[in-house]
Structure 1
Amino acid sequence: MLILLDAGHGGIINGEYQTAGKRSPIWDDGSQLFEGEFNRWIVNSLAERLSLRSMPYVLICPEQRDITLATRVKRANKYASQNCIYLSIHSNAGGGSGFEVFTSEGTTESDRIANFFAEEFMNEFPDSPLRADLRDGDYDKDKNFYVVRHTKMPALLTENFFMDNEFECRNILLTPWGRTKIVDFHERAIVRYIQSIENS
């Protein structure tokens, strides 16, 4: 199983954040989250975990500049003939708290994979809300995000806490402790999914 890891938005080049918006407020202690930096931290740490497990992966956007959605999809779809999944990492905004996992509309294999991510989030953060849509019997939310709609393999997009929620931003998203826990549950979800295939 090949894991395609995509860090949403751009990173930081020579001290300049590459994506307009996509950042937290500046908190009273002067701290601020730049989402693209957070996304890359999670993706790169997850890649290291997969390497230690000898599990193959591809970094869809290894560069720091912001890559267009069409280019991200094109890069991912080069691997469509292989047994693979696509995972896009983000932090949320717009008011709220907790975790969401998105797939394309309809019932697909992506929905089953998303359940592993939701369950492992609840195991890792039992006191934080899982923002789920249970109307179709699973935890994912269906949405026509470009990268999950146009990729040709099972695809998910995770929204990890809210960068405009001061408690979540300062205590989870900006801390090594919180980031490591986010990597932990993503890793476990991937491993559980692959094991479920091998045992089926």
Structure 2
Amino acid sequence: MTNAEDYRRTRESLHAVAEQLLAGPEYRRSRTIRLVAAPGGFATVKEPKLAVREDLLLADDEPVGKLHGSTIAELAAAAGLEPGMPEGVYADVTGFDPHAQLWIDADQARILTRAYELGDAALRALGPGATPVLWPEHFDIGIDLDEVNYGVSPGDALIGEPYAYIGPWTPRSGDFWNQSFGAARTIAELGGSEALLEFFTAGRLLAAREPK
């Protein structure tokens, strides 16, 4: 079960790790910020080979150190990385202090990473051949098909827990579309992978049928 405050703190720490310890070094080395869902967490798609698995930072599949209680600066030093944002790529950054201790609750982290796992599977089923991208800016995983964004967010200021979303590039109207950007349902509300895919599929059909 999601504990709102513990989940928020965990999400914010993991988001900072994704930005400053994965996407930043990846951008400086390989000129991309794309990340992907990985077992128990998330990972870079190009060099350097970095991943978060549960409460560990991995480099080249080897454990570097525990996230909880460490700082981004400490973990970067242990991994031989230059920490920091992918400078100049986007402006909406977390602003997390790299010398502040990360705070991660294992149970809440599992809720977050499970949402990515469900989202990755549902998105691949929705768009065969598409590769879902975990974007560090908003920390969501998604794809776009026919000018509609589909994805799973771990939560934000709008909805504080993991949720699935559908965002047509041109707004649609109707009961299905319950957010200003389109439609959203929490992962808890949907309840599982089949319902998540059904939500995406229903939105895709409506978006194709309804006038732009």
TM-score (ref. length: structure 1): 0.36
Which of structures 1 and 2 has the larger relative contact order (alpha carbons within 8 angstroms, sep 6+)? Answer: 1
Larger-gyration structure (1/2): 2
